């Protein structure tokens, strides 16, 4: 096969490209330039898009003896990933930019361009497995629990999964990958992992949002409506946040307070006790299924954070909404804390990914058993989003 290897400049993508070459594929390496001012991106181990990363990718390609190119995807990245990040926070939601990068960049822009150029598949350094199932390829968790990336890949959909290769799917540890790199003479074998958000150069997400969205002073309120502090923009807060609240007074009972609601229309942040964060129902929109959508309640596990714990649940698909997107409903088998709208929720059957959706709403049923669709009343001053 003709395979386009996405090479970020890190050890994972370099070894993935090497394994694709070893498998006998006709491989071409490509580094995605995601910013026209990459000096604003992180350097060293703190990013995946710096100038030095491009150099590391080129050196790896030279060692492997494969052609290497740099593709400028900066405009698409700004218009999709960064724009989505800003608009979601501006709406009081909590996005995952890595999910959107996989959706819009690696498995849309990159894969579509590769297909147009005659490539059969794209190979990346993600930790996940593609398994041949009875009805086509299936996406499964990596055996490396600490590095598993099936959560951020779930958004890609079945069609794109068919044209994707994850050569690191069988590796149980990162040390094994580094050993492969060292054995092959790749200089990135000891390069530290990247982390955090690549386009937030200094790691200050709140400062990045303020620079882009502007300061918008407003009130922080307790659940009874009492003003307990001020903020510079409700968009900078997320459900479950405890630190950086800048409250002027402690809670009357002395307990810690958390963000329990963000209302960007009213520009208010509501704080309250931890128990208000626990939910047992989740509704998602923009659902993407990698298996047959379950029409009836079906047992599964769900995960709402990239490296969060999967919890038992039941799920069912719901009809297409007014905006034309399919959705899903989830009843959790145990309470989850701090689930925020905008997060990605991924549905699993064992190690297999069944589907993914964006959290539209999370709530807790009433303790008196008032019915499966009953809700706990919202705290005073809070807004329960539809």
pTM assigned to the model: 0.89
Q: Are residues 238 and 359 in the same domain?
A: no
Q: Are residues 252 and 336 in the same domain?
A: no
With cut-offs at 50, 70 and 90, classify the pLDDT of residue 43.
Answer: very low
Q: Are residues 22 and 126 in the same domain?
A: yes
pLDDT tens digits, 296-312: 999 999 999 998 999 99
pLDDT tens digits, 222-239: 999 999 999 999 999 999
CA separation for the pair 318, 293 (Å, rounded): 9
Is 98 tagged catalytic?
no
**Residues 151, 140: contact at Cβ < 8 Å?**
no
* pLDDT number for residue 195: 65
Q: Are residues 281 and 268 in the same domain?
A: no
Where are the strands (E) in the chain, listed by range? 2-6, 26-33, 68-72, 121-123, 129-133, 136-140, 164-165, 218-222, 227-231, 258-263, 268-272, 278-289, 298-303, 311-318, 327-337, 344-349, 352-363
Percentage of residues in the chain having pLDDT higher than 70? 90
Q: Which helix (H) or strand (E) holds 15?
A: helix 11-22
Q: Which of 48, 49, 98, 198 is catalytic?
A: 198
Q: Are residues 151 and 172 in the same domain?
A: yes
User: Is residue 121's pLDDT more than 60?
Assistant: yes
Q: Which of 48, 49, 101, 300 is catalytic?
A: 101
Q: Provide the residue range defining the domain that includes 227.
A: 215-272
* pLDDT number for residue 368: 40
Q: Are residues 171 and 296 in the same domain?
A: no
Terminal CA-to-CA distance of the chain, rounded, Å?
47
Q: Are residues 323 and 264 in the same domain?
A: no
With cut-offs at 50, 70 and 90, classify the pLDDT of residue 37.
Answer: low
Any domain includes 145: yes
């Amino acid at each position: 096969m003709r395979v386009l290897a996405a090479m970020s400049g890190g050890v994972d993508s370099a070894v993935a490209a090497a394994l694709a070459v070893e498998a006998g594929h006709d491989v071409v390496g490509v580094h995605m330039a995601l910013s026209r001012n990459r000096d604003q991106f992180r350097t060293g181990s703190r990013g995946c898009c710096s100038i030095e990363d491009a150099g590391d990718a080129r050196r790896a390609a030279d060692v492997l003896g494969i052609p290497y190119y740099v593709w400028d995807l900066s405009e698409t990245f700004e218009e999709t990933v960064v724009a989505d990040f800003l608009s979601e926070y501006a709406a009081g939601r909590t996005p995952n930019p890595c999910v959107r990068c996989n959706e819009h960049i690696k498995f849309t822009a990159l894969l579509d361009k590769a297909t147009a150029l005659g490539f059969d598949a794209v190979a990346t350094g993600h930790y996940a497995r593609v398994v041949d199932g009875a009805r086509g390829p299936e996406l499964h968790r990596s055996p490396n629990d600490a590095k598993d990336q099936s959560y951020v890949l779930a958004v890609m959909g079945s069609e794109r999964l068919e044209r994707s290769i994850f050569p690191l799917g069988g590796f149980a540890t990162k040390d094994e990958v580094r050993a492969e790199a060292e054995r092959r003479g790749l200089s990135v074998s000891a390069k530290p992992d990247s982390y955090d958000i690549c386009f937030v150069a200094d790691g200050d997400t709140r400062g990045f949002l303020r620079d882009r969205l502007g300061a918008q002073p407003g009130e922080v309120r307790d659940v009874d409506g009492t003003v307990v502090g001020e903020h510079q923009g409700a968009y900078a807060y997320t459900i479950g946040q405890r630190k950086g609240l800048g409250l002027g007074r402690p809670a009357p009972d002395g307990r810690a307070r958390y963000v329990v609601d963000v209302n960007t229309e009213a520009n208010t942040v509501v704080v309250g006790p931890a128990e208000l964060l626990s939910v047992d129902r989740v509704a998602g929109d923009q659902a993407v299924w990698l298996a047959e959508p379950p029409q009836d309640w079906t047992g599964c596990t769900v995960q709402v954070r990239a490296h969060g714990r999967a919890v038992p649940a039941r799920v069912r698909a719901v009809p297409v909404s007014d905006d034309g997107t399919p959705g899903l409903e989830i009843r959790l088998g145990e309470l989850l804390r701090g689930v925020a709208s905008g997060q990605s929720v991924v549905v699993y059957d064992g190690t297999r990914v069944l589907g993914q959706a964006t959290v539209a709403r999370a709530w807790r049923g009433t303790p008196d058993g008032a019915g499966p669709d009953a809700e706990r009343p919202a705290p005073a001053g809070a807004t329960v989003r539809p």
